[in-house]
Structure 1
Amino acid sequence: MKWLLPRSLPAWVLLIVIAGLLAIQVSTLSIVARERAASNNILDLFRLNDRALSLVRLTYAATPEERKTVAAGLSVPPYAVTMSDTPAITTTIPSDDEMAEMEDIIVGRLSKYGVQDARVRRETATDAESSPHRPRAPQQQEDIGSIERELLELSADFTKSDTLIASIEFNDGQWLNFVMPSTPLSPILTSQSLPLFASAAAAVVLLSIWLLRRLTAPYRALESAVHRIGEDLKSPPLPEHGSSEYKSAARAVNTMQARLREYVEDRELLAAALAHDLRTPLTRIRLRLELLRKSPLKTALMQNLADIESISSSVLDFATHDGGHDDLERIDFWSLVDSVTDGNPHVSFDETTAPLRGLVCLGRAVPLRRCITNLIENAVKYGGAARLGLSHTDDRIVLTIDDDGPGIPQDHMEKVFRPFTRVEGSRNRQTGGFGLGLTIARNIARSFGGDVVLENRAGGGLRTTLTLPRAADAYSGSG
Structure 2
Amino acid sequence: MRRFLPQTLPVWVLLIVIAGLLISQVATLYIVSRDRVAANDVVDLYRLNDRAFSLVQLMSGATPEQRKVTAAGLFNSAYALTVSDTPAVTSSIAGDDELAELEDIMVSRLSKFGITDARVRRDPATTDTDDTDGAVDGADIGQVERDLLALSANFAQSDKLTASLRFGDGQWLNFTEPNTPVGPILSLDSLPLYSLIAGLVVIMSIWSLRRLTAPYRMMETAVNRIGKDLKSPPISEAGSREVRAAAKAINAMQARLREYVEDREHLAAALAHDLRTPLTRMRLRLELLRKSPARAALAHDLADIEGIASSVIDFATFEVTEEKDERIDFLSLVEAVADGFEAVSFEDDETHPRGLICIARPVALRRCVTNLVQNAVTYGKRAHLTLQRSENTVTLAIRDEGPGIPQAQLDSVFGSFVRLEQSRNRQTGGLGLGLTIARNIARGVGGEIRLSNYPGGGLLTELRLPLAA
TM-score of the superposed pair, with normalisation by structure 1: 0.88
Show the counterpart of 2:399.
402
- Mapped to 2, the partners of 1:118 and 1:356 lie a distance apart of 100
- Mapped to 2, the partners of 1:171 and 1:411 lie a distance apart of 107
Change over 3 Å in CA distance of 1:357–1:54 after alignment to 2: closer
- Mapped to 1, the partners of 2:425 and 2:186 lie a distance apart of 80
Q: Which of 234, 237, 250 is 2:234 aligned to? A: 237
The Cα shift of 1:8 comes to 2.7
Q: Pairwise CA RMSD of aligned residues? A: 2.9
Q: Can you list the C-alpha shifts for 1:287-306, whole angstroms capped at 9, x where unaligned?
A: 22232254553322322221
Q: Which of 428, 441, 450 is 1:444 aligned to? A: 441
The Cα shift of 1:26 comes to 1.6
CA contact under 8 A between 1:455 and 1:462: conserved in structure 2? yes
The residue matched to 2:61 in structure 1 has which SS? coil
CA contact under 8 A between 1:82 and 1:177: conserved in structure 2? yes
- Mapped to 2, the partners of 1:333 and 1:398 lie a distance apart of 10
- Mapped to 2, the partners of 1:305 and 1:325 lie a distance apart of 31
Query: What are the residue-to-residue correspondences of 1:306-321 with 2, within 5 Å?
Result: 306-321=303-318
The residue matched to 2:162 in structure 1 has which SS? strand
The Cα shift of 1:119 comes to 1.6
- Mapped to 2, the partners of 1:28 and 1:426 lie a distance apart of 79
The runs of 5 or more residues in structure 2 that have no matched partner are: none
Structure 1 window deviating more from structure 2 (105-114 vs 143-152): it is 143-152
The Cα shift of 1:196 comes to 2.6
Query: What are the residue-to-residue correspondences of 1:33-182 with 2, within 5 Å?
Result: 33-125=33-125, 129=126, 136-138=129-131, 151-182=148-179
The residue matched to 2:116 in structure 1 has which SS? strand
Q: Can you list the C-alpha shifts for 1:219-238, whole angstroms capped at 9, x where unaligned?
A: 11212222222233222211
The Cα shift of 1:341 comes to 2.4
Change over 3 Å in CA distance of 1:183–1:290 after alignment to 2: same
The residue matched to 2:91 in structure 1 has which SS? coil
Query: What are the residue-to-residue correspondences of 1:257-296 with 2, within 5 Å?
Result: 257-294=254-291
CA contact under 8 A between 1:158 and 1:183: conserved in structure 2? yes
Q: Can you list the C-alpha shifts for 1:33-79, whole angstroms capped at 9, x where unaligned?
A: 12111211111111111111221122122211111111011011110
- Mapped to 1, the partners of 2:94 and 2:185 lie a distance apart of 32
Change over 3 Å in CA distance of 1:332–1:273 after alignment to 2: same
- Mapped to 2, the partners of 1:325 and 1:391 lie a distance apart of 31
- Mapped to 2, the partners of 1:325 and 1:78 lie a distance apart of 95
Change over 3 Å in CA distance of 1:427–1:395 after alignment to 2: farther
Amino acid at match of 1:407: G
Show the counterpart of 2:301.
304
The runs of 5 or more residues in structure 1 that have no matched partner are: 473-479
- Mapped to 1, the partners of 2:321 and 2:280 lie a distance apart of 32
CA contact under 8 A between 1:77 and 1:135: conserved in structure 2? no
Q: Can you list the C-alpha shifts for 1:209-256, whole angstroms capped at 9, x where unaligned?
A: 221122112111212222222233222211111222111111111111
The residue matched to 2:337 in structure 1 has which SS? helix
Show the counterpart of 1:23.
23
The Cα shift of 1:167 comes to 0.9
TM-score of the superposed pair, with normalisation by structure 2: 0.90
- Mapped to 2, the partners of 1:85 and 1:252 lie a distance apart of 95
CA contact under 8 A between 2:6 and 2:12: conserved in structure 1? yes
Structure 1 window deviating more from structure 2 (291-300 vs 34-43): it is 291-300
The Cα shift of 1:183 comes to 0.6
The Cα shift of 1:407 comes to 1.8
CA contact under 8 A between 2:451 and 2:461: conserved in structure 1? yes
Q: Which of 334, 338, 357 is 2:335 aligned to? A: 338
- Mapped to 1, the partners of 2:171 and 2:410 lie a distance apart of 106
Amino acid at match of 1:316: I
Q: Which of 172, 176, 195 is 2:192 aligned to? A: 195
Show the counterpart of 2:368.
371
- Mapped to 1, the partners of 2:86 and 2:131 lie a distance apart of 30
CA contact under 8 A between 2:262 and 2:320: conserved in structure 1? no
Change over 3 Å in CA distance of 1:208–1:324 after alignment to 2: farther
The residue matched to 1:463 in structure 2 has which SS? strand
Change over 3 Å in CA distance of 1:248–1:118 after alignment to 2: same
The residue matched to 1:191 in structure 2 has which SS? coil
The residue matched to 1:192 in structure 2 has which SS? coil
Amino acid at match of 1:253: I
The Cα shift of 1:426 comes to 12
Structure 1 window deviating more from structure 2 (373-382 vs 226-235): it is 226-235
Amino acid at match of 2:384: R
Q: Can you list the C-alpha shifts for 1:127-170, whole angstroms capped at 9, x where unaligned?
A: xx5xxxx9715589997668566555434432432211111111
The residue matched to 1:115 in structure 2 has which SS? coil
Change over 3 Å in CA distance of 1:280–1:325 after alignment to 2: closer
Structure 1 window deviating more from structure 2 (149-158 vs 60-69): it is 149-158
Show the counterpart of 1:32.
32
Amino acid at match of 1:402: R
CA contact under 8 A between 2:122 and 2:159: conserved in structure 1? yes
- Mapped to 1, the partners of 2:409 and 2:272 lie a distance apart of 28
The Cα shift of 1:116 comes to 2.1
- Mapped to 1, the partners of 2:120 and 2:319 lie a distance apart of 98
The Cα shift of 1:118 comes to 1.6
